[in-house]
Structures are given as C-alpha cells and as structure tokens.
C-alpha cells in the first residue's frame, strides 16, 4: 500500500472519530474545562520538551497553574511554560471567532511565545541568516522571508478553497512555516500552535506531538524528508496519526 492510500485511510478514521466527538457536543462546561486544562498542560510540557526545556510535567503544572518557582530551573524555562499556556488560550479564543488566519496571527502567536524572553525579536521576522543544528535544511535568507510568508498565506487560502482535508491543511501550515523559519527562535512552537489553531477551528482536537527522544527523531526525520526531498507524506501521516491518538484519548476520557 502506498503512503497516499495509507493517509487516505487514516483520514477516514479521523472523520469517523470527529463525528463521534461532534455527537457528544456540547459537553458539560465543567467537565470540558477540567479535561481541556489537563490536556493544555500536557501540550505545553511536550512542546517545550521538544525544544529542550527540562521542566517535568508536574513542574510545568505548578509553574503555570500555581505560580510556583522551581529551584534549579532557569527563568527562561519558567517563562516558556507560562508563555506557551497563554498562547494556547490565544489560539482557543482565535479558533472561535471569524478572523482570517494571516501573517499577523502568526506574529501574535510568536510574540506570546517569546514574551519576556527575547523582547527585540518577539513577533518579528528575523533579519539574519540561521542554521538549524542537526539538519541539512538551510532556511531561506532573511531578505526572502516577506515574500515567502506572503506566498505561504496565499497557498494556505488556495488549499482551503480546494477543500483539501483540514488535517492535511493543518500539517501544511506547520511544515511550511518551519521550512521558511521566519523567526530567530520559537519557530517550532509557533508552527505547532498554528497547526492546532487550524485543527480547533475545524472541530478537531489539539495534536500533541511528543518530546521523547524517539518521537522527536521521527518528527525531525519527517520534516527533513519534506524540506530536503520534497516528500511531505511522512509528515502528513505523522500529524494524522497524532490527531487520531488525540481524539481517541479525548473520547476515552469522556468514557466513550
């Protein structure tokens, strides 16, 4: 079976799970808030762990919800947890309104991610060349970024107009934003949040890509295949499988 057929079968499963989830909505507000809060902490923990943050899941919860300072952990690690939690609130609010996703949206997500960490660059495209350690992909030169970002939003609109499956559009948003690498720092977190903003807007649940060494390697390998070899299928499959896992988990928490 080729990869595209595999992805098509997985997307059907996605749609079946989404239909099951939709049939349970609206969920009781109290139950929903508890589940959503717990999942948001897990997402913050994993997304930051991918980038090298050493806070544990429990420590992340204490920092975000209790305002606790963890001894031996840097100020930056505390801010990364707090900022990411705020950025999740932002994408949830954004998903429920009618504002179009634009470059401004991306810059606003990024500004939240680097708030208090890098004032000069928060919410601003980079003006210097960058290299990604451990990757063969060389991000575009800074003078190309404005045009690439403009094209990125146009291609996104085209995919929507062509009725491409929302989970594949979400994967594209992540994949392409990381490829362009428009920011000096925080590209990964911003890309994952943008992907999840689009998933939430389309009635799916947040995809939580894991930060374990094994999961991280699979994630980076799939992105590399897309950026170097122009084969986005492995990354698409990874995102669709992660969405299926997230929806199954959500349904199991609801006792389904």
What's the rounded mean pLDDT across residues 3-21?
A: 96
What's the rounded mean pLDDT across residues 174-202?
A: 98
Contact of 206 with 39, CB cutoff 8 Å: yes
Domain range summary for the chain, segments of one domain joined by +: 7-127+137-253
Cα angle 54, 78, 80; round to 5? 80
Taking 3-state DSSP, the helix, strand and coil percentages for the chain, each rounded to the nearest 5, stand at 70, 0, 30
Selected from 3.40.50.2300, 3.90.226.10, 1.10.3290.10, 3.40.50.720, the CATH number assigned to the domain covering 7-127+137-253 reads 1.10.3290.10
pLDDT at 134: 85
Burial class (CB in 10 A: 0-12, 13-18, 19+), 140: middle
Query: Which residues neighbour 216 within 8 Å (Cβ) at sequence distance 6 or greater?
Result: 50, 210
Each residue's pLDDT tens digit, 189-243: 999 999 999 999 999 999 999 999 999 999 999 999 999 999 999 999 999 999 9
pLDDT at 96: 94
pLDDT at 31: 78
Q: Coil, strand or helix: which one is 248?
A: helix
Query: Which residues neighbour 141 within 8 Å (Cβ) at sequence distance 6 or greater?
Result: 129
Contact of 166 with 208, CB cutoff 8 Å: no
Catalytic residue list: 181
What's the rounded mean pLDDT across residues 158-174?
A: 98
- Residue 142 is given by DSSP the state G
Query: Using omega within 30 degrees of 0 as the cis cutoff, is the peptide bond preceding 151 cis?
Result: no
- Residue 27 is given by DSSP the state P
In the structure, what pLDDT confidence band is assigned to residue 26 with cuts at 50, 70 and 90? confident
Q: Provide long-range contacts, Cβ within 8 A and 24+ apart, for 24-32.
A: 24/251, 24/254, 24/256, 27/254, 31/254
- Residue 13 is given by DSSP the state H
Tokens 């919860």 identify what position? 61
Tokens 């031996």 identify what position? 72
Among 202, 194, 160, smallest CA distance to 178 is for: 194
What's the rounded mean pLDDT across residues 64-69?
A: 96
pLDDT at 250: 92
pLDDT at 30: 82
pLDDT at 60: 98
């Amino acid at each position: 079976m080729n990869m595209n057929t595999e992805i098509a079968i997985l997307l059907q499963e996605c749609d079946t799970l989404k239909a099951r989830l939709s049939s349970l909505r609206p969920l009781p507000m109290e139950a929903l808030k508890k589940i959503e809060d717990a999942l948001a902490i897990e997402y913050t923990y994993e997304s930051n762990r991918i980038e090298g943050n050493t806070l544990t899941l429990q420590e992340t919860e204490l920092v975000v919800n209790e305002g606790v300072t963890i001894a031996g952990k840097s100020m930056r690690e505390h801010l990364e947890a707090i900022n990411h939690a705020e950025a999740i609130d932002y994408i949830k609010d954004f998903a429920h309104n009618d504002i179009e996703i634009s470059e401004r949206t991306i810059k606003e997500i990024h500004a939240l991610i680097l708030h208090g960490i890098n004032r000069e660059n928060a919410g601003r495209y980079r003006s210097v060349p960058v290299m990604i350690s451990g990757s063969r992909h060389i991000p575009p030169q800074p003078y190309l970024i404005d045009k690439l970002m403009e094209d990125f939003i146009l291609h996104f609109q085209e995919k929507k107009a062509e009725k491409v499956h929302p989970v594949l559009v979400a994967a594209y948003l992540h994949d392409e934003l990381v490829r362009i690498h428009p920011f000096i720092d925080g590209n990964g977190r911003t890309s994952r949040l943008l992907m999840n903003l689009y998933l939430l807007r389309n009635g799916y649940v947040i995809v939580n890509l894991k930060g374990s060494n094994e999961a991280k390697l699979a994630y980076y390998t799939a992105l590399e295949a897309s950026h170097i070899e122009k084969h986005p299928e492995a990354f698409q499959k990874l995102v669709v499988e992660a969405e299926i896992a997230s929806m199954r988990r959500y349904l199991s928490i609801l006792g389904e």
